[in-house]
Structure 1
Amino acid sequence: MSNDQEPIYIPIPHYPPFKLRSSLIDKDPVIWVHLLEGYIRLLQVLLDPKTPKLTVKSQQQLQLFLKVFIHETCEEETKIFSLGAINPDIKKNTGILRIYVFQLIKNYSFVKLNLTGDVIWEFARIYAPKNVSIVRGLLDGTFKSKFNDNKKSGSISFITPVQKHLVNTLISNGRFTNDDLNCLSLLLGQNTNKTNTFALGSNKTIGKRQNRSLPFAESFVNTTWIELLENGYAGGKSVNAETIKNVMIISIISLSTGKLATLTMNLGVSSVDTLKVCPLFSSLIISEPYNEIIPNLEEKLPFLRKLYDEIDSDDDSDFGYEENIEAISLLIDLFPDMTEKKAKIILKQHNGDAEHVTHLLLENPGLISEIEEQKKPKNKKPVPKKLTGTNVITSKKNQKFILSQPSKDLKKKTLTDALRVMYQSDEDEPDDTYDDQEKTTGEDL
């Protein structure tokens, strides 16, 4: 656009909202076809370098048109038009208009068009699937727009406004959808060595990627972003905690091991004691699923190796020993062949239900000998427990658990059940006390 000529005023009408467009398409699709052609012609003029600069009023109208068009286009996927929308001319012109809007924003930049974080994110939703590199460049300020020759404004990053919009508006208001998550994943990329499914409540499938993160991901997944997510997570108490956890997972797996280690240190997480600074972030980077996808983080963060070693020394932690002390003691008292490990295993298999396990073993005592005392694999990295809220993993090294006596009520109830089963078992067998004696009849007396 030429700056040598006097600014000109070009009236730019608003892009019609959904209801009005639907009505136009339904009543007279030909009118809507011509309106689309008018918008296309307008954008062609604006993309011509020889076109004089617009007046302030025209610039404001253009900005409003773009904001409404982007919002309406982003929302169209969830709405249904009338049958007139299948008009081939409407479909063709709508597609052409989308292309010209993309070209206009690409050539002018977000800053010259005064677009805000919410509009920029919807722009990314629409155009990232087919133009992801350009969208990344526009977001982080690395893409050089043709009509923006200002060196300072030409390199402005819009990552922070987008981050705040995602967390403070979409996520906090429960409006963050799977489409938003997919778009974020596409923009960040996935830095993984193999295909896997990340656990911790998420069913997000991780695709194959090289073991390096994208420059955009390194710019986007920064301390500001992690802190925004942690604040929104509120120690897992937020109603949107699950959504935030999924977003955190997508963010973390986009970084290489080295970049993640740097981010961890920048967040102030430099020891086991400081894991509580970012509980959600910390629980994910020390989890088994993450270590399977991107291993050897402890080589960059040595304090994690100490954490793994401490947890590895605690054999009882795998079985939740301390959680079923009373039930374990009860089973050992009732069944002479029962060992502590066998008791833990069978209780774990039956969700810690001591009463159910007791009935099961009374009816089939042979099950005790079939319980295999599992041994912990030596070559497998131990799995740290998940951080919840502000709780931190603590070492249980050299900690011993003493089996306490079961409560009187539980023991009395279980013994009563045991006697009942034994009594019923005796009744089921025929009484053979007098089988060996000679039968006599009244005549023999």
Structure 2
Amino acid sequence: MTASPHEARPDGPGRALPDTQQGMRRRNLARVMHAVRAEGPLSRAAVASRIGLTRAAVSTLVDELIRTGLLEELGPERPGRVGRPGSALAVSGQGPAGIGAEIGVDHLAVCAVDLRGVVRARAVRHGTNRGRAPEPVVAELTELIRQVVAEADGSGLWPAGLAVAVPGLVSRDGRTVVRAPNLEWHDVDLGALLPAEYPLTVDNEANFGGLAELWLGEDTPHDFLHVSAEIGIGSAVVVDGQLLRGTRGFAGELGHVPVRPDGPECGCGGRGCLEQYAGEEAVLRAAGLEPGEDRVGMLAGRAAAGDTDVRRALHDAGEALGIALTGAVNLLDPRGVVLGGALAGLAPWLLPSLEAELARRTAGPACPVSVSRLGPEGPLLGAAHWVVRGVLDDPAGVAERR
């Protein structure tokens, strides 16, 4: 079984389990949960075959997971087969849920995802957060969290944790926003502002977007660069199915890679950063348009209608993306690049110049570029699924906290 992201990250919600009999039991409970979630419904015998334990051992583990409400029995697995059919097991549609939240420059969003990966409640509030103090922004986010938790509770779900995606650098403590230039926030302890009753993880929105692509994408390789954009541009580096975080947890700041060193000043303090050429507001400026509520929709609509100024601006943005990505591709040699966030909606007009730059500048074979089907939903879904994965990784610990 592939190692979970929480086992590899010391600051993740999953706990490192000791090499004791109790630790082995907890790891085996997690293996059962992951097997049923990935391939279920499965009988006990099928689970035993998948994870290499005896049927008796698996039956004991399954009984414990059913008692705690994490698994449920659906009845005979395959009626009509020779011999007595086993009872099919599935991950429960009730019980713990992952609460994901996103603080964007121009929106707030919250959702609840059950252990099956289904979004069961959702709330969104549009409005600029740039330049606002963290306290009122987090107060509004907390209202949305309460609303989503209440709706989820009506469906038999309870919050196993809260994960918040932010457009900025987050410290290794998983709660402090060190710097978010597009929000104008510095050293903000979100853990002190958010509801204390939920286990909390705060991370960069691009990281959660990359994890969502890894967990929910179709045929996504385990080594890729995930690039997403809103006002700013971020990226997640996934190596062997794990996030590459860097020494301080700040890896992936593609938006502040200089593509033209003598270019315009950036909010980070540098000049000529990628965000100044390929961020949403930069593309709007280049096209001579004023920002609106649906910036991506406006750009895509005008580009599809043949607006030459918009198409030129998107061509230039794709070129800048290609230049910035070339350095990362040459350095890391990923299997592919995935465009997510707002970039996914603009891919038809970005890809030609982006791919041309990559092909011209990359030292090795061409690096394939694909478009995420998750689009701008990636960070929010990734945040909620981070909590869900934590439950799957240590179901015994979640039951104890409950």
Q: Which has the higher contact order (CA 8 A, sep 6+)?
A: 2
Q: Report the TM-score range of the alignment, normalised by the length of the smaller protein.
A: under 0.3
Query: What TM-score does the superposition give when structure 2 sets the normalisation length?
Result: 0.22
Q: Which has the higher strand share?
A: 2
Q: Which has the higher helix share?
A: 1
Bigger CA radius of gyration = 1
